[in-house]
Amino acid sequence: MKKNKNRVIERAVIHDFAAEGKCIVKHEGEVIFVAGSNVAPGDEVKLLVSKKKKNYSEGRILETYSYSPDRIEAFCSHFGVCGGCKWQHVPYDRQLQQKWQQVNDQLVRIGKLPIGEVWPILGSAKTQFYRNKLEFTFSNSRWLTNAEIQSEDDINKNSLGFHVPGRFDKVLPIDKCYLQGDPSNAIRDFFGEYAHSHGLSFYDHVIHEGFMRNLMIRTSTTGDVMVVVQFAQNNQEVIKDILDKFIETFPQITSVNYFINTKRNDTYFDLEPVCVYGTPYITEEMEGLKFRIGVKSFYQTNSEQAYELYKITRDFAKITDNDVVYDLYTGTGTIANFVARQAKKVVGVEYIEEAIEDAKVNSEINNISNTSFFAGDMTKVLTDAFIEKNGQPDVIITDPPRAGMSKEVVDTILRAAPKRIVYVSCNPATQARDLSLLSEKYKITEVKPVDMFPHTHHVENVVGLELK
Ligand code: SAH
């Protein structure tokens, strides 16, 4: 292995965006990828080059001499430190162009897939306050500004906010977050202020002590609002007081829940939530279909744009009433239920058992009776025997995680040979790999990128395929 070599490039100009939200510098024949949350093409910078790989290096900005004239002013006071909304200094149409480029690069330039053209990207109507779920962390180790570090004053280091990227223990207090609509900011402030004024301890993520641990807020387009608080100790008197006061202050709340988490990690999937007010779920709606979202349920975080994504998916699927449809990586069965009325039947498969339970409930409350859902690892569940038993698919919709599909799953799909496949992906690189395998039998007919996450580098891409 090569040793890291640290060297400084005194002056370099950021050349362009690269994949994964990085930027690229081309300097004396060398290609350097630069990560960071306050960088844009056209910036003039001083660089620390840290890793020398065979074909490229990696660098970090030490100082910015001048900002690109193409930048716009960031709207959030936390820009540059917070890990969210990293592209807010880039005009939205430029962000969209970059995301389209990312898809084109992976599928056409690098993947060399036979594609007529990548269709124009669908931007998000909302570019702020588009998320329906946020999680804030309580910490007794606040991220300090340089002035605070140098100051002699006694500083209260308790904080409720977001983790600073790469720092599991440091939390940036948030004044106003532009990601989730009302009453998200007010709810966060309520819990932060209550904890401060009542002397409740903020969690210490190094020695694992403290009381207030985590706050999750979920909202829906129907107006429902869910709050889930993680406490590290089962102190019923305090929990009752804080949640009673909260409910009094926010009469619009429809679901209040808590977890007692005494474990060393923050995950709640192995914990039982306690609902103290309202329903243990909120409801999302699409074309009259209701989706119940429980405390632990997965739901696409940009609800309005999820609807657009599902419509594109449904259009590409061209389902007719005699079709057997498979919805792979179905999550809580949202796509399966969304297309069920057009199909003869829909089979959904997903890893997480609770999600499959949600998927079944979502069929039930919408009087959908032609769906069936199965929990398990895709590679193990989706076998030839499973297909034999549940019906030959006419259409397969697949929406895998970032890693894409396993070779076995792709092979099973190829053997099943449905007349159409719709591949929804959040990672065009693994999507390109899988499409290349599928192109043995399939022709790519549509490619439509969709922006679900404005001000981030993430892009969703929907591809339609037809049996040759
Ligand atoms: N289509 C869904 C969400 C898809 S997200 C929607 O629009 O809401 C990808 C899903 O794949 C997640 O729910 C995840 O739990 C599931 N998953 C990840 N790896 C898996 C595997 N190996 N087998 C089955 N499901 C898996």
Strand, helix or coil for residue 125? coil
440 near 414, Cβ under 8 Å?
Answer: yes
Query: Catalytic site residue 426?
Result: yes
CB within 6 Å of ligand 1 — which residues? 298, 300, 329-331, 334-335, 350-352, 355, 377-378, 399, 401
CA of 127 to the centre of ligand 1 (A): 25
- Give me the pLDDT at residue 1, please: 44
Among 22, 111, 107, smallest CA distance to 448 is for 107
Q: Quick one: how far is CA 278 from the chain centroid?
A: 27
- For the record, the structure tokens of 116 come out as 């007529």
User: Which residue's CA lies nearest to atom 10 of ligand 1?
Assistant: 329
> Which residues have a Cβ under 8 Å from the Cβ of 122 and sit 6 or more positions away?
308, 312, 448, 449, 450, 451
What domains appear along the chain, each with residue ranges and CATH number? Answer: 7-66 (2.40.50.140), 96-126+302-467 (3.40.50.150), 133-286 (2.40.50.1070)
pLDDT tens for each residue of 144-156: 888 888 887 778 8
Could you read off the pLDDT of 436-455 as tens digits, one per residue?
Answer: 999 999 999 999 999 999 99
Q: CA gyration radius for the chain?
A: 24
Instruction: Please write the tens of the pLDDT for every residue from 309-335.
Output: 999 999 999 999 999 999 999 999 999
Inter-axis angle of helices 407-416 and 428-438, to 10 degrees? Answer: 40
Q: What pLDDT, on a 0 to 100 scale, did the predictor assign at position 4?
A: 54
Read off the pLDDT of residues 249-305 as tens digits, 9 standing for 90 and up.
999 999 999 999 999 998 998 999 999 999 999 999 999 999 999 999 889 999 999
* pLDDT tens-digit map of 18-77: 988 899 999 988 899 998 878 999 999 999 998 778 889 999 999 999 999 999 999 999
Helix (H) or strand (E) run with residue 409 in it: helix 407-416
Catalytic residue among 23, 177, 275, 426: 426
* 424 Cα nearest atom in ligand 1: 1
Percent of the chain's residues with pLDDT above 70: 99
